[in-house]
Chain A
Amino acid sequence: MSYRAPVADIRFVLNELAGLNEVGALPGYEDVNPELADAILEEAAKLAENVIAPLNKVGDQHGNKLSDGIVTTAPGFKSAYQQFSENGWVSLRTPTEFGGQGMPALIAMATEEMWCAANVAFSLCPLLTLGAFEALEHHASDELKATYLPKMASGEWTGTMNLTEPQAGSDLAQVRAKAVPVGDGTYKISGQKIFITWGEHDMVENIVHLVLARLPDAPAGVKGISLFVVPKYLVNADGSLGERNDVSCVSLEHKLGIHASPTCVMSYGDKGGAIGYLVGEAHRGLGYMFTMMNQARLGVGIEGMAIAERAYQQAVAYAKDRVQSRELGSDNPAPAAIIKHADIRRMLMTMKSQIEAQRALTYYAGAALDRAARHPDAAEKQKWQAVVNFLIPIVKGWNTEQVNEITSLGVQIHGGMGFIEETGAAQHLRDARITAIYEGTTGIQAMDLVGRKTASEQGRTARALLAEVEAVAAQLKTQGLAEVGDALDAALVHARASTDFVVGQFEAQPKAVAAGSVPFLKLMGIVLGGWQLGRAALVAKQKLADGDADSAFLEAKLITARFFAVHLLPQVGGLSAAILHGADTVLALPEEAF
């Protein structure tokens, strides 16, 4: 089933909800405006639909092959990647000084949605390159930057993130990989890294690994980890490629999904040590990693939303095509397309409304990221940074948890055909599953949300955002959209009570707060998603009153907001009950009883 980039909806969100014009007013983004965004979206859509999306199934079926340390990607991937990088898409948001396009995150995210929906396994390669790029851009020496960044921005070299080790996953304090100074400023790196996405492949000539490792004198725990650049091929002074470094892929994982993305076991120093270069200062590696973590986590949130969109499109097509059973209440005795059946509609609306809510919230966070980075006013900058910080675990956690439900509904709409691999609906379900795991599991996101992002700032940002929700609810009620406004008000009561609980109890009973942390994350996702759909409804209402010609699109916005208000927002009550009163039963059963 082919993919059509939802350009109209993306455009609506960028222009009407996320504030593309405000982003365009930030210093350095003078060229950014809705017309430029449109031109970029249209071109990205073409490439995503025609070049990258057709490889999704091929990649799933074919996977990657490892032989003699060489990873061969699925047919078509190499040339698609070349086209992708030669056309400049890797560097959309990287700064112009290293050959990038210097576009805001907001616009870049919109294109990233398309790559992810078209082919999430493919999209991970440029995504990780971007992550590695950023870590270097912010923390590496000028010399390292000059050597690596232009080639990474152009896509000629790709990048990886080597954090995880067999004993160190969520808990990176346990990293053991070693780095020993050689004496000439370089280091010899040794150890094993696992689960390294696109750690080895045949699409480009060089791969730039960012590796977390410990120096001999390092203190234990998180404060003793340093970050190194370890290229697959060493780079000569003139920029040409030199010797092969002592790093290799020794195994590929067999996975539930994203088959086309090689997940590698990387071995460093089998022949005495891979040459590495220290990024920034010693022992500060983990902190540096967190610089790019924000964008990477938003990136995974986009993956979740994007795969959901793809599954939704496929489900709609099937629901219109598949004829089964007569329509209830119709005079026509003939069997009807299943989209006529109420339960199929319920499933489609559940998919659609959450996807639109997520898209709006995700891009809102993206614009906040841009504002935090560039706003000329220090207070505004700080305010937006707090908003980004708060939204990141929600976008990452909520989008990726819900994509499991949404892709599962996609399968359900297909009936038995959904369970059959040839149909393609199952691939989305399998591909989506990793998104709630990597870049920090939902559990880790939720702990981040209740701890650092809520309790430790006394719930300031949470309450500020909830106040905005309240303002929108009030407007909705004056605009004849009371159904949505009232539902938001009702949800706000629960959201505030839960926030008070998190803030009030975090010190006293951290475990009780932790027990409700994922429900709290979901609660926030639903309330803030409902807020965005409420905003969308207000815009739609206004445009309809102004006589905007696209009435079908705008009416759909109103209906979608109403559906979300009636079907999703009430869930907040249940989640809140679990947060406030549920810890007890979570922890009551003794460990031996499991």
Chain B
Amino acid sequence: MSILVIAEHDNGSLKAATLNTVTAAQKIGGDIHVLVAGHNAAAAAQAAAQIAGVAKVLLADAAHLGHQLAENVTPVVVELARGYSHVLAPATTHGKNLLPRVAALLDVAQISDVIAVESADTFVRPIYAGNVIATVQSSDAIKLMTVRTTAFDAAATGGSATVESIGAGSDAGKSSFVSQELTKSSRPELGAAKIIVSGGRALASSEQFHGVLEPLADKLGAAIGASRAAVDAGYAPNDYQVGQTGKIVAPQLYLAVGISGAIQHLAGMKDSKVIVAINKDEEAPIFQVADYGLVADLFTAVPELIAELNK
């Protein structure tokens, strides 16, 4: 068996998602090759060559691959894919854009968002927004899949694979890149945020509420929420309130800072994936729902936390 991993990169550097995808490939087992398709992408290819466990890096380098348009990358992958048992891409917007196009031309199914590998032909993936986990088996000769990167550790580096240049095809002439706009670093909205830092009455003033929590939120790219007590006391605006009578949120990570964990507050955040509580009272009810609890004074713990994240 040999496995082709499609690298996530921006020509100049390799994206971490590639490392998680290589780990998924290792779970399947077999020779692992990485395709870097881009323009002036030697640096990315070099980085890929250093992933432990990668046998070979294939570099398709041409101007028309510069923006990695699916129309132009697809023929390159299709050409290569016939020599592999598996083709993997990270389930990023790039991987999701590209791989189904390849699958259709190969006349094979694609498996999306794989979170576990059961065997060479059997994989696990979430459906219904993660409310159901399905185990699926593929009977296609070549198995194409996108990999949920958070489900696999990053592969180690320290390898030294060879980099081989391959044919880059030609411009399909159907699409062209116009422009790109990267997201400004302003804080996300509470309802949509992946991470929420939420503060309670313990913050004790509006200045401290913002002064202590904002740097942490900025560090994490998080939205800021509040308990009703904090809102009622005027430390935070109304629309920050999380809870039964405030907003209902379910982020990946909810950090409750100086919040006791009243049932009305829990009603608004108990479906969060991971809950962290920082509270100086070890009996605080918030600890009953927190995945990770830290008994500490928030005024020392939060700055420490920022420092640790900066490391």
Contact = CB atoms under 8 A, between A and B. Distances in A.
Whether A and B touch (Cβ < 8 Å) is answered with yes
Interface of A: 321-322, 422-423
A321 B267 contact: yes
5 contacts: A321-B267, A322-B263, A422-B245, A423-B244, A423-B245
- Top 5 A-B pairs, shortest CB-CB distance: A422-B245, A321-B267, A423-B245, A423-B244, A322-B263
Contacts of B263: 322
A322 B245 CA distance: 15
Interface string B266-296: 0100000000000000000000000000000
A321 B266 CA distance: 11
Interface string B254-268: 000000000100010
Contacts of B245: 422-423
B288 to A, nearest CB: 11
Contacts of A321: 267
A395 to B, nearest CB: 35
Contacts, number: 5
Contacts of B267: 321
Tell me the interface secondary structure of chain A in the complex. Answer: helix
Interface in B231-249: 244-245
- Report, as a range, how many residues of chain B touch the other chain: under 10
B37 to A, nearest CB: 44
Nearest to A322: B263
Interface in B202-247: 244-245
Contacts of A322: 263
Interface of B: 244-245, 263, 267
Nearest to B267: A321
A322 B244 CA distance: 12
A422 B245 CA distance: 7
Contacts of B244: 423
A281 B280 CA distance: 80
Nearest to B228: A422
Nearest to A424: B245
A321 B245 CA distance: 14
Nearest to A321: B267
A423 B263 CA distance: 13
Nearest to A421: B245
A322 B267 CA distance: 10
A362 B121 CA distance: 58
B4 to A, nearest CB: 45
Contacts of A422: 245
A406 to B, nearest CB: 23
B242 to A, nearest CB: 14
A422 B232 CA distance: 14
A322 B266 CA distance: 11
A423 B264 CA distance: 10
A484 B244 CA distance: 40
Nearest to A420: B245
A321 B263 CA distance: 10
A422 B244 CA distance: 9
Contacts of A423: 244-245
A422 B238 CA distance: 14
A61 to B, nearest CB: 12
A245 to B, nearest CB: 42
A423 B244 CA distance: 8
Nearest to A57: B245
A321 B243 CA distance: 13
A323 to B, nearest CB: 8
A422 B267 CA distance: 14
A322 B263 CA distance: 9
B265 to A, nearest CB: 13
Nearest to B248: A2
A488 B55 CA distance: 81
A322 B264 CA distance: 10
A425 to B, nearest CB: 12
Nearest to A324: B263
A166 to B, nearest CB: 40
A321 B267 CA distance: 9
A97 B118 CA distance: 66
A318 B263 CA distance: 12
A423 B243 CA distance: 12
B247 to A, nearest CB: 13
A6 to B, nearest CB: 22
B268 to A, nearest CB: 12
A380 B5 CA distance: 76
B226 to A, nearest CB: 16
A422 B228 CA distance: 12
A156 to B, nearest CB: 34
A321 B270 CA distance: 11
A322 to B, nearest CB: 8
A221 B109 CA distance: 82
A490 B267 CA distance: 47
B249 to A, nearest CB: 15
A76 to B, nearest CB: 16
A415 to B, nearest CB: 12
B150 to A, nearest CB: 30
A422 B263 CA distance: 15
A18 B263 CA distance: 44
A551 B263 CA distance: 35
B232 to A, nearest CB: 11
A122 to B, nearest CB: 22
B8 to A, nearest CB: 38
